[in-house]
Structure 1
Amino acid sequence: MKNICVFCGSSQGKLPIFKQTAIDFAKILVQENCTLIYGEGRLGLMGIIADTVLESGGNAIGVIPDFMMDKEVAHQGLTELRITASMHERKYEMARLADGFAVLPGGMGTLDEMAEILTWNQLLILKKPIGILNVNGYYDPLLKMMDEMVNAGFLRPKGRELLLHSTEPAGLIGKLKDYVPGNDNIWNSIKRG
């Protein structure tokens, strides 16, 4: 796996463990010779991961919509910068470049990006692994909600299995690298008539 796209917060969060885990994750990306693909911000966990990758001798490709360039949130000094016309194009470009996706703590934008990649995988638009780094139990409620979606009949078990997870950076990168996509999508399991 060459390119890992990271979705995470544009803030650091309140707990020091969020920042430290982002640093640890970035260092392992470089050790594993993975290029960082991300939403190009210089703030929060996004900036911390990019800075750590670059300081550790790795490569970081940022993708940003042009309207955000004007807000002075762009990171300077990346290996490569790609500017898109919209947020939709930004997500498409990150998905196109990535071999897999890692989700670290974040807010609504992070959840949006994760949900879209999961949906694209369900529909076989993509066949790329996605997993969450469950730092300090941050994503426990989300995992529980996904289990409830299965129990209530709104998410098929195969759809639930698409979201990998680990509490350790190395564990998540290992799961992303070991992932073997299936050939089933939700349409194959829908009963007709």
Structure 2
Amino acid sequence: MRLIRLSFLTVLVCLLTWGGAYSSEVRAQQTSSIDFDKPIVLVHGIGGAGYNFYSIERKLRSIGYDRSDLHAIDFADRSGNNYRNSRQLRDFINEVLTNYDVDEVNIIAHSMGGANTLRYLTQLGGVEHVDKVITLGGANRLGASSVPDGVDFTSIYSSSDLIVANSLSRIDGANNIHVPGVTHLLLLTNNRVQDLIVEALEKE
């Protein structure tokens, strides 16, 4: 009986080891098209803060990003002022570009952060420094009427949002994705939304 128990434990350890290696290999294959050299800037909305992206940051770290790759801005003006916040976002991104010696970042923005991002792109020269933008319930059309050329833009929104109208989130030139049954705040933590974020980052 003791020999059987030892044999069982040996097989179990081997299976767990192989399974972990296989899972890591699959995860690496699934995210192989992501450019991890481009930092991600996380942009909160009205009344929000950088810590709103805790769940998304955890997801991103699970697929290969390092903590140092993720940069959440905290706006001095949390009222969502587009003029002031887009300028602070510009300065924040310039600092990230300088500190990490890169030419471009990717942006994930929630709510009014989408409008702030679009104003930065269209009026403050941000197109030159941004590869991909992903907005979650973004008030996008408060920042611009369409996505500028040169930026891969994904807008994820829900008819259950009830805070930001879907008509503001959908924007010409973007990959507009409707996810039913997700409230405005839950767009920050929903598993399906996080999978869509990863898919958007994988796009070439």
Q: Which TM-score bucket, shorter chain as reference? A: 0.3 to 0.5
Which has the higher Rg, Structure 1 or Structure 2? 2
User: TM-score, normalised on structure 2?
Assistant: 0.41
Give me the TM-score of the superposition, normalised by structure 1: 0.43
